[in-house]
């Protein structure tokens, strides 16, 4: 019985060591320097925080931004990219955090299943949707998800 358990445990450990992206983030584009467009795929290797809402003036969006501002320096040191996608209008996000506005916000919201008025999506360095919620989260919670993503932990385990 012990041998069977050890064999099963070893098999599970082997599978988890070579984990693939379980929930790939739908691709979207955003303006880049030089009147060009960049895509989410170009940010591979960087965590992305995506805010989806009706507008920059929406209460949930403003609350989420204020929580993120509290610990923005920690995000900046980790090279986290912040993107906003709005269903109505392209007003900039008023914040000390440099938000990029996604092209075609309504399409981005639809791609991420944005049935709620507000969505917070955290995309890991590997392109996986690590966290998605319709609720406002503290900056600490967002930092914890980014810090504990599979890609970050796997890199920390390498000798």
We report the CATH number of the domain holding residue 148 as 3.40.30.10
Token couple for 34 = 């030089």
Token couple for 152 = 């970050």
Residue 95 maps to a domain = yes
Token couple for 46 = 């960087």
In the chain, how many domains are there? 1
What is the average per-residue pLDDT within 102-116? Answer: 88
User: How buried is 38 (Cβ within 10 angstroms: 0-12 exposed, 13-18 middle, 19+ buried)?
Assistant: middle
The residue range of the domain holding 63 is 21-157
Q: Report helix, strand and coil shares of the chain as percent, to nearest 5.
A: 40, 20, 40
Residue 5 maps to a domain = no
Residue 3 maps to a domain = no
Residue 121 maps to a domain = yes
Tell me the CB-side half-sphere exposure of residue 114, using CA atoms within 13 A: 23
What is the average per-residue pLDDT within 100-124? Answer: 91
For residue range 83-102, list pLDDT tens digits in order: 999 999 788 899 999 999 99
Residue 9 maps to a domain = no
For residue range 25-48, list pLDDT tens digits in order: 999 999 988 889 999 999 999 999
Residue 11 maps to a domain = no
What pTM was estimated for this model as a whole? 0.81
Residue 52 maps to a domain = yes
- Residue ranges of alpha helices (H) inside 43-149 are 59-70, 72-77, 105-111, 139-147
Residue 4 maps to a domain = no
Question: Which residues have C-beta within 8 Å of that of residue 67, sequence separation ≥ 6?
Answer: 136, 137, 138, 139, 142
């Amino acid at each position: 019985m012990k041998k069977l358990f050890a064999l099963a445990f070893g098999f599970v450990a082997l599978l988890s060591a070579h984990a693939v992206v379980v929930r790939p983030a739908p691709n979207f584009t955003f303006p880049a320097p030089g009147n060009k467009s960049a895509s989410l795929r170009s940010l591979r290797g960087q965590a992305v925080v995506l805010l989806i809402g009706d507008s920059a003036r929406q209460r949930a969006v403003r609350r989420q931004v204020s929580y993120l501002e509290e610990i923005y320096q920690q995000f900046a040191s980790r090279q986290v990219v912040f993107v906003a996608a709005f269903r109505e209008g392209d007003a900039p996000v008023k914040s000390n955090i440099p938000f990029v506005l996604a092209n075609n916000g309504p399409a981005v919201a639809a791609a991420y299943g944005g049935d709620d008025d507000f969505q917070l999506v955290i995309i890991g360095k590997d392109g996986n949707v690590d966290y998605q919620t319709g609720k406002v989260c503290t900056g600490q919670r967002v930092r914890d998800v980014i810090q504990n993503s599979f890609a970050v932990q796997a890199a920390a385990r390498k000798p």
